[in-house]
Structure 1
Amino acid sequence: MYDLEQYTLDKIIDVGSLQDIQDKYSKLTNLSTITVDRAGVPVIKPSNFSKYCNLIRTSKEGYRRCIDCDAVGGLKSSKLKKPIIYRCHAGLTDFSAPIIVNNVHLGSMLCGQVSIKEDNTKNSIDLKKLSKELYLPLDKLKYTLKEVNIVEYEKVKNAADFLYMFANLIAKMGIANITHSELLQETKEKMKFQQLARDIQIKSIQAQINPHFLFNTLNTMASMSLLESSNNTVELIYALSDILRYSLRNSDKMVNISTEIDNIKKYLFIQSVRFKDKLDYEINISSNVLDCKIPAMTLQPIIENAVIHGIEPKKEFGKVRIISKILSEKYIVFEIQDNGVGMGAKELKSLKNKMNSSNKDDSNISIGIQIVQDRIKYYFGSQYGIDIKSSINVGTTVYIKLPLVY
């Protein structure tokens, strides 16, 4: 087993991906966010920092206090293994969510830089003392403090819980990278033990699900610019929270088809709000298969492709249909249909080749299908998997064949 103590956060997680996650979370919540290592030192650029905090950090002493404060907040949340809310040294309210992999604290995501409405925390900050201790102009501190967001405590609490789910997903990304770098080497040395190689490959495939799904979901929500003017804001945040929770808890499990469908309904709800009158969907699943088992997140990536690559580029109204058929009382076939832009014969052939290739392609449209195809074949065998039919300007239908498992 690999020793996680030897790793730093920036060594196991791609910093570009981490920056993308952090930026989108900050845009989604309209809160300042930063990711730090065990010592409280930032590993990527901060997102949406307030002018007040940026000013504080221009002071050598202020920067030192900020680092110490972030480290203490991260360590405390790590020990408790949950998000915590606290006052920073400069008087603002922050919260911290630990990034923990196999009980090893790698760092934390910190968020906030706000004043709590109920406590009127702005007025309790001793700016004169802060100015003297940090050698910062008092007038600049007063000016930048005025621009600090005032939010209700309940919003901070909900955002902290939401951030903790993000931190868990980041931890899973770390596991995926370690799995590839450490266990793959072990596999090469022990290829004669085929079962070991198979188990490691399954873990590697499953570990890819969360980052891929997370980026697509975040892109959807971030593009909606927090939806401050939407009446569906609360419902959307709850739906997204449930989706992320589902992907965290179940990505390596078999779940009831009914559970998978409930998760898909929430995803399609988010997308239907995003596209307003452009997207409709229909789900028709036989009631006698709802208690059957399938690998979690089997249908989700395929439906994402239908929406993002089929319906979104289309100018006219689009629809996604999800239906199930039982064959010979032994198999179930899911059909995921869209009336989107479709593909020509050459593009379809290329996609099918990539889908069945052992080499992972980087394009968003094929990676999700490749992951689902690999998982199905590893779980059930080569006689099961995915087939695709498509025509330009007509749409695409993806067929997923699985055994009936109760």
Structure 2
Amino acid sequence: MYNIEQYKLDEIIDANSLQDIQDKYSKLTNLSTITVDRHGVPVIKPSNFSKYCSLIRTSKEGYRRCITCDAMGGLQSSKLKKPIIYRCHAGLTDFSAPIVVNDIHFGSMLCGQVIVKENNTRDSIDLEKISSELYLPLDKLKSALNEINIVEYEKVKNSADFMYMFANLIAKMGVANIAHSKLLEETKEKMKFQQLARDIQIKSIQAQINPHFLFNTLNTMASMSLLENSSNTVDLIYALSDILRYSLRNSDKMVNISTEIKNIEKYLYIQNVRFRDKLDYKIDVSSDVMDCKIPAMTLQPIIENAVIHGIEPKKQPGKVSIISKIVSEKYIAFKIEDNGVGMNPEKLQSLKDKINSSGEDDSNINIGIQIVQDRIKYYFGSQYGIDIKSSPNEGTTVYIKIPLVF
């Protein structure tokens, strides 16, 4: 579910549209207008700014005071959830219309830069003090102040109320558009995952449990049954049946890491019998992660690739290892390593490109890893997934990053 608080004002309302709204409002009311974020920083260009305020902001200290004043006005109006009218640090009357959606303050539209007829006059503004503190020429301040409009309080109040209603209507429409877009994205992701789950079930033998592996396992069992009477064969059959059952029953589920490891142990047991002295393996998964959750069939396709594409083509014996650790108490890092034939840089880059795209690929190695990558990102987000390193004749290492989920 998306978090509305992560969005900025100019992401909710398109900046060009916001500028157009602000310009037209300022022209309609003849009021200076500026839109700021929740920190008082302008998000678009000011409209109809007075010479007086523009001059004030040429001073570094004056600009700082304007930003602080705008932020305070916006914050106060957001707390009250209504527009407020106030005098700025330079003596003019402004009003702040907060932009609040679902009780979240995104910013404010600030208008005014006027003198209110009923409240003050130009003479009530201490220009000498402002000139001294901001290092601005007194004569320029006086000239600019003389151009400031004097308006009635009722006009300021009505303008503030109108701006509040209008700005929030536009913001709510923007938030609704974001919610609609996110809903569409989530629906597409769910549909993609549902199709992925169906593909895993339909193609489980060819994608998750490679046909090559299944064919050779059956041959091995048949050969052994002729030579002995026949406990090892029974163990192989049970192991294979358990793997098939695990794949078909859990293809779209989350399981404990301990359950996934047990399945891998059965897979490696079968391959160890098949390859005899050619395959060695090591599983070093710490007990503190065994109760954590992981999408079923996350590790097994990676192990299968290591054996079939790494160790099997190698003339000498090979080894596969699985290591895990918890990093910063935030996520689990798996390292699946083989000392097989490896890949050259071009093949490695091609594999990385394919598994990080949504396109289909006919090779079993790409299908298996891409399915794992897609499922991890679906369950946990784009910051998690797979990385691969490999060197020719040295082997391949696959890194898997998933969050700590119990």
- Distance in 2 between residues matched to 1:213 and 1:195, nearest whole Å: 26
Deviation at 1:195, TM superposition (A): 2.6
Rounded Cα–Cα distance in structure 1 between residues aligned with 2:221 and 2:284? 32
Q: Secondary structure at the match of 1:383?
A: coil
Taking the aligned partners of 1:325 and 1:194, their CA distance within structure 2 comes to 33
Contact residue 377 and residue 384 of structure 1 kept, 8 A: yes
Match of 1:185 in 2: none
Selected match of 2:208 from 205, 208, 213: 213
Contact 2:221 2:236 in 1 (8 A): no
1:361 partner amino acid: D
- The secondary structure found in structure 1 opposite 2:192 is helix
Q: Please give the secondary structure, in 1, of the residue aligned with 2:195.
A: helix
Secondary structure of 2:373 counterpart: helix
Superposition deviation, residue 223 in structure 1: 3.8
Amino acid at match of 2:339: N
After superposition, the C-alpha distances for 1:248-283 in whole angstroms (9 at most, x for unaligned) are 211111100000000000000000001010001000
* 1:199 partner amino acid: K
Post-superposition shift, 1:191?
A: 11
Matches within 5 A, 1:12-31: none
Q: How does 1:307-326 map to 2 (within 5 A)?
A: 307-326=307-326
Please tell me whether the aligned partners of residues 285 and 323 of structure 1 are also in contact (alpha carbons under 8 angstroms).
yes
Check the 8 A contact 1:384/1:401 in 2, yes or no. yes
Equivalent in the alignment of 1:271? 271
2:169 alignment partner in structure 1: none
The two structures, once aligned, show a CA RMSD in angstroms of 1.7
AA paired with 2:218?
Answer: A
Amino acid at match of 1:213: Q
Contact 1:208 1:371 in 2 (8 A): no
Residue type matched to 1:294 in 2? Answer: I
CA distance change for structure 1 residues 319 and 375 in 2, over 3 Å: closer, same or farther?
same
Corresponding residue of 2:254: 254
Residues in 1 aligned to 2:312 and 2:328: alpha-carbon distance in whole angstroms: 36
The 5 A counterparts of 1:34-183 are none
| Match of residue 45 from structure 1 | none
CA distance in 2, matches of 1:223, 1:204: 33
Q: 1:275 to 1:362 in 2, by over 3 A?
A: same
CA shift, 1:328, in A, is 0.8
Where does 1:176-191 land on structure 2 (aligned, <5 Å)? none
Deviations along 1:157-191, whole A, 9 cap, x unmatched?
xxxxxxxxxxxxxxxxxxxxxxxxxxxxxxxxx99
Structure 2 counterpart SS, 1:369: helix
1:33-73 per-residue CA deviation (whole Å, 9 max, x = no partner) reads: xxxxxxxxxxxxxxxxxxxxxxxxxxxxxxxxxxxxxxxxx
8 Å contact from structure 1 (residues 220, 271) kept in 2? no
Give, in whole Å, the separation in 2 of the partners of 1:284 and 1:346.
31
Structure 2 spans left out of the alignment, 5+ residues:
1-180
Which structure's CA Rg is the greater one? 2
Pair 1:268–1:288, CA change in 2 (3 A): same
User: Take 2:312 and 2:295, find their aligned partners in 1: how far apart are those partners?
Assistant: 27
CA distance in 1, matches of 2:400, 2:291: 18
- SS state at 1:353 partner: helix
Give the aligned partner of residue 183 of structure 1: none
Say yes or no: does 1:224 pair with 2:220.
yes
Q: Hey, what does 1:296 align to over in structure 2?
A: 296
Distance 2:294 2:182 in 1: 29
Q: Distance in 2 between matches of 1:365 and 1:376?
A: 17
The alpha-carbon distance between structure 1 residues 195 and 219, as it changes in their structure 2 partners (threshold 3 A), is: same
Q: For the residues of structure 1 that align with 2:255 and 2:263, how far apart are their CA atoms?
A: 11
Query: What is the TM-score when the length of structure 2 is the normalising length?
Result: 0.52
Which one-letter code corresponds to 1:348 in the other structure? L
Contact 2:340 2:393 in 1 (8 A): yes
Matched, 1:371 2:371: yes
1:6 is matched with none
Say whether residues 1:343 and 2:343 are aligned partners.
Answer: yes
Q: What's the TM-score once normalised by structure 1's chain length? A: 0.52
**Structure 2 Cα separation of the partners of residues 346 and 383 of structure 1:** 25
Report if aligned partners of 1:320, 1:338 keep a CA contact under 8 Å in 2: yes
Q: Which amino acid aligns with 2:254?
A: M
Instruction: State whether residues 255 and 295 of structure 1, in contact with CA within 8 Å, keep that contact through their aligned partners in structure 2.
Output: yes
Of all paired residues, the percent bearing the same amino acid is 67
Conservation of the 8 A alpha-carbon contact between 1:206 and 1:375: no
The answer for unaligned runs of 5 or more in structure 1 is: 1-189
Amino acid at match of 2:343: M
Contact 1:301 1:369 in 2 (8 A): yes
Distance in 1 between residues matched to 2:264 and 2:221, nearest whole Å: 22
Q: Give secondary structure in 1 for the equivalent of 2:281.
A: strand
